[in-house]
Structure 1
Amino acid sequence: MDAMLYPLKWAVAWVMVHIHNILVFLGMHDGPGFAWVLSIVGLTVVVRILIMPLFFKQIRASRGMQLMQPEMRALQEKYKGKKDPESKRRQQEEMMALYKKHGSNPMASCFPILIQMPIFFALFRVLARLQDVASGKIDPIGPLTASLADDVQHSNLFGASLSESFMQASTTEVKIVTIVLIIAMGVTQFLTMRQLTMKNMPESAKNDDNPMMRSQKSMMYIMPVIFAVTGVQFQIGVLIYWLTTNLWTMGQQFFAIHRMPAPGSEAERLMKERQAKKRARKGLPPLEEEINETSEEPVGGQRVQPKRKDRQKKAVRPVDTTDSSSSDTSADDTPNDNRVGLSKEEIARRRYERRARERQAAAQRRKEAQKAKRNNAE
Structure 2
Amino acid sequence: MLDWLYTGISWVMARWHSLWDTVFGNPPAETALGGLSWVLAIVFLVVTIRLILFPLFVKQIKSQRAMQELQPELAKLRKQYGSDRQGMAVAQQALMKERGVNPLAGCLPILPQIPVFLSLFHVLRRLAPDKPGLYSWSDELTDQAARAQLFGAPISSSFNMSGAKETAILDIAGVTYTNIRIVAFVLIVIMCFTTYYTQKQIMKRSGPVEGQAAMVQKILLYVMPAGLFVSGFLFPIGVLLYWFTNNLWTLGQQFFILRKMPPPGSDAAKAKAAGDKPAVDPKTLAPKPGAKPVRPKGGRPVAPPATDAPTGDGAADGSASPNGGAANGRPPGKQSPGGATRAGQSPPNRGKRKRR
Q: Same fold (TM over 0.5)?
A: yes
Question: Residue 184 of structure 2 contacts residue 237 of structure 2 at CA under 8 Å; is this kept in 1?
Answer: yes
1:148 aligns with 2:154: no
Q: Which residue, 182, 186, 191 being the options, matches 2:192?
A: 186
Distance 1:106 1:291 in 2: 44
Which of these two proteins has the greater Rg computed from alpha carbons? 2
Q: Which amino acid in structure 1 is aligned with residue 160 of structure 2?
A: M
Checking the alignment, whether the CA contact within 8 Å between 1:41 and 1:244 is kept in structure 2 is: yes
- After TM superposition, list the pairs within 5 Å mapping 1:226-375 onto structure 2: 226-269=227-270, 271=272, 275=275, 287=277, 289-290=279-280
AA paired with 2:233? V
CA deviation vs aligned residue, 1:156-181 (integer Å, no higher than 9, x gap): 11111111111117611222212211
Deviations 1:230-269 (Å, cap 9, x if unpaired)? 2111111111111111111110121112112222123324
Q: Match of 2:5?
A: 8
Pick closer, same or farther for the CA change 1:267–1:102 going to 2, 3 Å: farther
Q: 1:95, 1:8 → 2: CA distance?
A: 38
Q: TM-score, normalized by length of structure 1?
A: 0.65
Q: Matches of 1:224 and 1:255 in 2, distance apart?
A: 23
1:91-124 deviation digits (Å, cap 9, x = unpaired): 3332123223554322222222210111111111
Aligned match of 1:196:
202
CA distance in 1, matches of 2:64, 2:224: 18
Judge which range, 248-257 or 166-175, deviates more.
166-175
Which residue identity lines up with residue 188 of structure 1 in the other structure?
T
Stretches of structure 1 lacking an aligned partner (at least 5 in a row): 277-286, 299-337, 342-378
Deviation at 1:291, TM superposition (A): 11
Quote the residue 1:22 is aligned against.
Answer: 19
Partner amino acid for 1:72? L
- Paired residues in the alignment total 275
- Is the contact made by 1:201 and 1:264 (CA closer than 8 Å) also made in structure 2? no
Separation of aligned partners in 2, 1:244 and 1:36: 14
Percent identical pairs in the alignment equals 38
1:11 to partner: Cα distance: 0.8
The superposition leaves residues 31-76 of structure 1 with CA deviations (integer Å, 9 ceiling, x where unpaired) of 4121011101111110010011111111111222222222223222
d(CA) in 2 for partners of 1:252, 1:57: 14
Which secondary structure does the structure 1 equivalent of 2:128 belong to? helix
Q: Look up the equivalent residue of 2:108 and give its one-letter code.
A: F
**2:151 aligned to 145, 158, 163, which one?**
158
Please report the RMSD computed on the Cα atoms of aligned residues, expressed in angstroms: 3.2
Greater RCO, 1 or 2 (C-alpha within 8 Å, sep 6+): 1
Per the alignment, do residues 7 and 201 of structure 1 end up closer, same or farther by CA in structure 2, a change over 3 Å counting? closer
Structure-2 separation of matches of 1:257 and 1:35: 33
2:110 maps to 113
Match of 1:104 in 2: 101
Q: Which residue identity does 2:157 align to in structure 1?
A: E
In structure 2, the gaps of 5 or more residues are 30-34, 171-176, 288-294, 299-356
Structure 2 residue 164 is the aligned partner of structure 1 residue 167: no
Alignment pair present for 1:94 and 2:87: no
In the alignment, is residue 49 of structure 1 matched against residue 42 of structure 2?
no
Amino acid at match of 1:78: Q
Aligned AA (2:83)? G
Q: In structure 1, what residue type is equivalent to 2:148?
A: S
Alignment check: 8 A CA contact 1:61 1:108 kept:
yes
Matched residue, 1:332? none
C-alpha contact 1:61 1:103 (8 A) present in aligned 2: no
Equivalents in 2 of 1:293, 1:264: separation in Å?
A: 33
Q: Report if the CA contact (8 A) 1:12-1:122 is conserved.
A: yes
Q: Which amino acid aligns with 1:105?
A: N
Partners of 1:45 and 1:258 in 2: CA distance = 22
Instruction: Give how far 1:17 is off.
Output: 0.9
Q: Residues 304-324 of structure 1, C-alpha deviation per residue, up to 9 Å, x if partnerless?
A: xxxxxxxxxxxxxxxxxxxxx
In the alignment, the residues of structure 1 paired with residue 75 and residue 266 of structure 2 have an alpha-carbon distance, to the nearest angstrom, of 19
1:223 lines up with 2:229 in the alignment: no
Return the offset for 1:152.
0.6
